[in-house]
Amino acid sequence: MPMRPTCYLDHNATTPLVPEAMVAMRGAMERCGNPSSVHSAGRHARRLVEDAREQVARVVGADSADVVFTSGGTEANVMALAGCGRSRVLVSAVEHPSVIRAIDAPEVVPVDTHGVVRLDALEAMLAASGEPALVSVMLANNETGVLQPVAEVSALARAYGAWVHCDAVQAPGRIGIDVRALGVHLLSLSAHKLGGPAGIGALVVSPDVTLRPLSRGGGQERGRRAGTENVIGIAGFGAAAQTVLSARPDRIARLRDGLERDLRARCPEATIFGGDVPRLPNTTCVAMPGVDSEVQVIAFDLEGVGVSAGAACSSGKVSRSAVLQAMGVGEDIARTAIRVSLGWTTDEADVNRFLAVWTGIYQRASSRGPVWAQTSRVGALV
C-alpha cells in the first residue's frame, strides 16, 4: 500500500531545515577545528562561529557581542531566569513550560480572555515590592500565536527597576524583531523554529546585565557559557537566520486567513482562539466541537496530516493546555483544541488537504456524537 504524502502543519513545534542551513552545516562538517585553538583550523572554526553570531544578531537588531549561543530555546530561557541574579521573577501565565519551570515558584501574572498579559496586574505586582525583579513575557505564544505588548511591558518594568526577559523563539521570519525597540534586557531564540537545526539556540544579553553562567569551566562565549561551541549547529543557525531577513510572512498570512475563513464557513461553531487580537501570521488554534484534541491529532496523522495539541515539549504526550486554561477557556472547549502552524514549506494544497480532513472528521463525529480520547473510537473517524 503506497504511503500517503505527508502534509506537515506543525511548524511551531519545529520547521524543516532550509537548504541554506544544510549547505552551511555540510561545509562545517567537512572541516576540523576547535574554535578555541589558535592554529589555522581553529581560526577557521572561530570564523564560522563569529559569522553566525553576526547573522543571528542581525535578525533581532542586536550587537553580535550580545549573542550567547546555547543548546536551544529552553536553555536560553533557563539561563535568563536562573542566571540573572534576581530572586524575584514574574512570568506571564501563558509562558512556555521552559520559562514557568525555570525556577521554583515564580510569581504568575494573569492574562485576559484573549491570552494577552494584563498590564494593570503586572503593575500592581511590581508596585507591591521594592525588590529588584525580572519580568518574563514572551513575544508570541506558541499555541495561539497571540502577540504580547512587550514594549509596554518593558516600559512598565523599567519604571519599577525591573529587568525584562522575552522568549521570542516563535517570532523570527513571522514578525519583525528589534530588541532595542522592545526594550528588553534578555531575549531567547531557537534555531529549529526558523529553519535551522535542533539543539542550538541563543540568548541575547544586554550589556548592562551581568549573567551568572550555569555551566562553568572554560571561558567560551565570553565567560557566559562554558563548553566547546557546537560549530556545525551554529553554522546552520546562522545560515537559517540569514534567510529570515527575506522571509515572506504575507504569503503565509494569506494561507492562514483563507484556512480560517473556510473553517468558519464549514463550521460556524468552531472556536478560533486569539482570533480578535494580533497574532503570528502562521498560527491557528481551533476547537472542533465535540471531538477530543488527542482523537483529532491521531485521526489527522492517519490521514497523513501533521498537527498538534498544545506545546510539543511533553515527550509525545497530549495534555490539556495550560495556555487555554489561563485564558479562562472551559474544559469542555479546551479539550477539543488543536494547533495548526504553517511554515516555509506550506502551500495551498496543504491547506486544502487539512480542510478536507478536518471536515471529514467533524462530519463523522457530528453523526455519532461527542468523541473523547478514552472511548478509543478514533477508527470511526478515519
Q: What is the pLDDT of residue 319?
A: 61
Report CA-CA distances (Å) from 88 to 83, 146, 370.
Answer: 12, 26, 45
Q: What is the pLDDT of residue 311?
A: 52
Residue 21: its H or E element = helix 19-29
Q: Is 313 a catalytic residue?
A: yes
Q: What is the pLDDT of residue 178?
A: 97
Residues with Cβ within 8 Å of residue 245, at least 6 apart in sequence: 58, 59
Per annotation, catalytic residue among 7, 32, 84, 313:
313
- The β-bridge partners of 136 are 91, 165
Task: Region of 72 please: left (phi>0), alpha (psi -120 to 50) or beta.
Answer: left
Max CA separation in the chain (angstroms): 71
Q: What is the pLDDT of residue 315?
A: 42
Q: What is the pLDDT of residue 382?
A: 58
Task: Take residue 141 and report the three cell numbers written for it.
Answer: 505564544
Domains recognised in the chain with CATH numbers:
7-15+248-381 (3.90.1150.10), 19-244 (3.40.640.10)
Report CA-CA distances (Å) from 56 to 30, 53, 171, 185, 225.
Answer: 22, 5, 13, 17, 17
Q: What is the pLDDT of residue 134?
A: 98
pTM more than 0.85 = yes
Q: What is the pLDDT of residue 2?
A: 43
What are the per-10-residue average pLDDT scores of the chain (382 residues)? 71 97 97 91 94 98 97 97 95 97 96 98 96 97 98 98 98 97 98 98 95 85 88 98 94 98 94 96 96 95 92 53 95 95 97 96 82 57 59
Q: What is the pLDDT of residue 317?
A: 53
The label of the residue with cell 488527542 reads 294
Is residue 202 within 8 A of residue 76, CB to CB? The reply is yes
Q: What is the pLDDT of residue 14?
A: 97
Q: What is the pLDDT of residue 1?
A: 38
Q: What is the pLDDT of residue 192?
A: 98
